[in-house]
Structure 1
Amino acid sequence: MKKALLIFVFIPCLVNAQLLKGVLLDKSSSEPIPFATIGTIGSTSGTVSNINGEFLLETAGSDSIIVSHLNYGVNYFKIDLNNTTQTYRLTPLVITLAEVTITGKTIQQILNEAVLKSEQAVTSPIYLKSYYREFVKTNNNYTKFSDGIVNYYLENKGKGNLKTKVWVTDSRAVELYDEKEEKIDWDLTSPLDIQDGPKPSLISSIGKFLNEEEQGKYDFKISSPDSKDKNWTVISVLPKKEIEEMLFEATIAIDDETGLILQLDYHISDYHKQFAKEANLLIIKAKLLHSWIRIHFNESNGNYNIAYVYRDASMKVWNKSNINTEFRFTSDLIVTDILPNPNSLLKEDLYSGKSLYKRKTPTKTEFWINSNAIKLTEDQQQIVDGLMKANAPGKQ
């Protein structure tokens, strides 16, 4: 069970592989299932379903796929070789409250130990290859898109000191011009930062729920699936309604065998978002409306590291003149390989910017064909198709 749950994305370039198009649905409600891991038996390649439950997977001749999700367990499906577009329905697991008293520890102690153990287990130093993309919406219309092949060097120097280098070996970008956006400093307003990438410091963000001053603002619950294959525990952190502050709620999945964090998901509580405060950003004001971060971790071949990061945030920006706009920022980062030999990384590809969009250099190859591991939604695909027509290699 553990190995199946941790199947992730290290995606080689496959030759003569069949492309499977699928969608995952809840068997009871027919709702789409996002953020499930899909792979093939005997292979380390795989992908993640998008917010509509859709996925694309190169099956490399395999006749079966494995679908893993903490709320649905591990499911095996035969591939219909005569039908490469298929729907898979998953039965949700029954979640039960765990008997915490048998551990002799509080939920907070269990969570704190998982954080410390996971921080110590992260492989360092390491070179990671990833596919990254980011979108910006202005008043519900797409205005910016960029994606690229991004390589990271991460080295833990101890005492919270992390050495990071970022190389962007290829990228593309498109913009729908908006005169008002020209007056906004994106480095100040955008919550997206390509430099953060798969930093292990994301694990430390759980600490906001555990320090003495903040801990009293939350209720902690522990649960686990009622399944014979179960080998993970989920801790839920829920802000108390009487606390009139902007607070986050979170779920953290912990492997029972290793004690390592498998998955982290936190977002602003729907009730507590009303207490968000305004921020002054030079000539404009901003207010956070929504923030959601989801992180998957991978443990394989002795390496433990972040394998997938999804960010989604929206904010309102305004001033006394003519700016009164709502922006939404989303990004996906999926680690596709661990680089054993980083000698191929070039000095001219080093990148220190915050937004990938600002790296407006000519696209070298159609890198997205083999590297776009997460299926775009229909509206996302439309903007990317427009980009590909206008910005084909050699035309920029």
Structure 2
Amino acid sequence: MKKTITICLFIITNFSFSQTRTITGVVKDVTTLLPVESVSISLIDSNIGTISNEEGKFRITLPENSKAINFSHLYYKLETHVLKGNETEIEIFLEPKSFVLDEVVINQKPGKTLLEEAVDASKSKLEKSLLLTTYYREFINVDSKYTNFSDGIIDYYVKRKNGASDLYVKQSRTFDLKDENASEREKAILSVNLNDVRKAVSNAYSFKMVAQILKSDKYNFGVETKSETGGSSIEIITIEPKENLEDEFIYEGTVTYDFKTKLILDINLRFSPEHKKYSVIHNILIAKVKFNDIVRRASFKIDGDKYVMIYSQVKSNVYLKFGKKINNTFESLCDITTLNYKEGEFDLDKSKKYKESSLFTNGNKYTEEFWKKYDVILLNDAEQKIINTFK
């Protein structure tokens, strides 16, 4: 009984400190002064964190006695900002990492084998028995017009190393463009399952798209080693389609991993532009579907002896014919950011486990303006304008 009470208190007070302060700011490249996206921002000696958006902007809420914040990025030097007095707005300038130039590194193994080893090492290191508190959001665009948005604070209880999770939606909100086709659009979206909120973590943990590529014989794999002047190194696997392929569902992009640990740090994959013309219409359940584009991004962080997912994003562009009213192109953007995590085994209330495939189904269920209070990835100016059109 005491254990259950303690866990419930943890979930309820996960972001509620007796005294807190919120820091907002922007992260820029010190040389170009341009904003830096996807910077991992975390409180030192804590699992609390967030990331910067496309405009380099961020917000993080900290205990009042917090001393410093770390700013880390794959291609920039770690920056530690010591908090001063009662400051609540900061501007951070990151210095690009200096990599050793003209260094030839001979790999005895082919790129595909190196990537297989990185996937195996990463899968084995990702923790199970982990409670990930996340911010999840999803945009739907139909024929170049935004029609739906949802976001929420979701706890994923990861029980197995493949990322299989129970999820508990703590708070959520939704916006829908109300017109005569609104209900048909919702049915269409659910029929092809553009994004399954239940699988948002497991898809990242399983390295699903990378695994599909590795099972295929249709790719070439290049290897580039980048060594910092301080001694640490990363390896970048470049994935390219072989020549003369006339297939659909062909990808290209990069996977970056830490040279020493073989742990994957960054995934950036998408449909090969040269092969989109080979996409054809498929029959899925009662719908006809053509996949025009898919983009997959994910970031992982080595946190001491821990290895955790910090960000995952899927963009998809799909033509969909469904019933008599839906004959449209749907574009979906779905991303999930880890805000906090806690290890252990948890006796959660299974009756409250979320079982729907879409967060839209949960509707508006919130007790506070979580999108303003918690360490969510901030909407950029263009995205905020989209939200305003729904009001």
How far apart, in 2, do the equivalents of 1:25 and 1:308 lie? 20
AA paired with 1:171? S
State the partner residue of 1:149: 153
Kindly tell me: are residues 94 and 299 of structure 1, through their superposed partners in 2, closer, same or farther at Cα, counting changes over 3 Å? closer
Q: TM-score, normalised by structure 1?
A: 0.79
How far apart, in 2, do the equivalents of 1:385 and 1:321 lie? 30
CA deviation string 1:166-187 (max 9, x = no partner): 2223322221124334334222
State the partner residue of 2:183: 182
State the partner residue of 2:197: 194
Q: Shift of residue 12 of structure 1?
A: 4.3
State the partner residue of 1:267: 270
Q: TM-score, normalised by structure 2?
A: 0.80
How far apart, in 2, do the equivalents of 1:27 and 1:300 lie? 25
Q: How does 1:235-246 map to 2 (within 5 A)?
A: 235-240=237-242, 242-246=244-248
- In the alignment, structure 1 residue 349 sits paired with structure 2 residue 361: no
Question: Which of residues 78, 81, 95 in structure 2 aligns to 1:74?
Answer: 78
Q: Shift of residue 229 of structure 1?
A: 5.3
Question: Which of residues 110, 116, 119 in structure 1 aligns to 2:120?
Answer: 116
State the partner residue of 1:39: 42
Kindly tell me: are residues 167 and 46 of structure 1, through their superposed partners in 2, closer, same or farther at Cα, counting changes over 3 Å? closer
Q: How does 1:379-394 map to 2 (within 5 A)?
A: 379-382=382-385
CA RMSD, 1 decimal: 3.3
AA paired with 1:356? L
Question: Which of residues 232, 235, 239 in structure 2 aligns to 1:233?
Answer: 235
AA paired with 1:134? E
- In the alignment, structure 1 residue 286 sits paired with structure 2 residue 300: no
AA paired with 1:206? V
Kindly tell me: are residues 41 and 316 of structure 1, through their superposed partners in 2, closer, same or farther at Cα, counting changes over 3 Å? same
Work out the percentage of aligned pairs sharing the same amino acid: 25
Question: Which of residues 207, 225, 231 in structure 2 aligns to 1:223?
Answer: 225
State the partner residue of 2:210: 206
AA paired with 2:293? H
State the partner residue of 2:252: 249
How far apart, in 2, do the equivalents of 1:319 and 1:131 lie? 31
CA deviation string 1:244-265 (max 9, x = no partner): 3342123222222322222222
Kindly tell me: are residues 275 and 100 of structure 1, through their superposed partners in 2, closer, same or farther at Cα, counting changes over 3 Å? farther
Q: Shift of residue 49 of structure 1?
A: 0.9
Residues 107, 222 of structure 1: 8 Å contact kept: no
1:198 alignment partner, SS class: helix
AA paired with 1:123? E
Deviates more, 1:313-322 or 1:147-156: 313-322
AA paired with 1:135? F
CA deviation string 1:117-138 (max 9, x = no partner): 2212222233333222222122
1:50 alignment partner, SS class: coil
Segments of 5+ residues of structure 1 without an aligned counterpart are 1-10, 391-396
AA paired with 2:117? E
1:368 alignment partner, SS class: helix
Question: Which of residues 323, 330, 335 in structure 2 aligns to 1:332?
Answer: 335
Q: Shift of residue 112 of structure 1?
A: 0.9
How far apart, in 1, do the equivalents of 2:213 and 2:167 lie? 30
Residues 307, 334 of structure 1: 8 Å contact kept: yes
Q: Shift of residue 85 of structure 1?
A: 4.2
How far apart, in 1, do the equivalents of 2:75 and 2:118 lie? 20
State the partner residue of 1:126: 130
Residues 130, 345 of structure 2: 8 Å contact kept: no
State the partner residue of 2:9: none
How far apart, in 1, do the equivalents of 2:192 and 2:34 lie? 34
1:245 alignment partner, SS class: coil
How far apart, in 1, do the equivalents of 2:137 and 2:324 lie? 32
Q: Shift of residue 48 of structure 1?
A: 0.4
AA paired with 1:202? S
2:206 alignment partner, SS class: helix
Residues 226, 235 of structure 2: 8 Å contact kept: yes
Q: Shift of residue 82 of structure 1?
A: 8.0
How far apart, in 2, do the equivalents of 1:231 and 1:217 lie? 25
1:196 alignment partner, SS class: helix
Q: Shift of residue 196 of structure 1?
A: 0.7
Kindly tell me: are residues 18 and 149 of structure 1, through their superposed partners in 2, closer, same or farther at Cα, counting changes over 3 Å? closer
How far apart, in 1, do the equivalents of 2:86 and 2:128 lie? 45
Residues 138, 150 of structure 2: 8 Å contact kept: yes
**Alignment length (residue pairs):** 371
Segments of 5+ residues of structure 2 without an aligned counterpart are 1-13
State the partner residue of 2:8: none
Residues 135, 144 of structure 1: 8 Å contact kept: yes
Kindly tell me: are residues 125 and 226 of structure 1, through their superposed partners in 2, closer, same or farther at Cα, counting changes over 3 Å? closer
Residues 219, 239 of structure 2: 8 Å contact kept: no
Residues 65, 76 of structure 1: 8 Å contact kept: yes
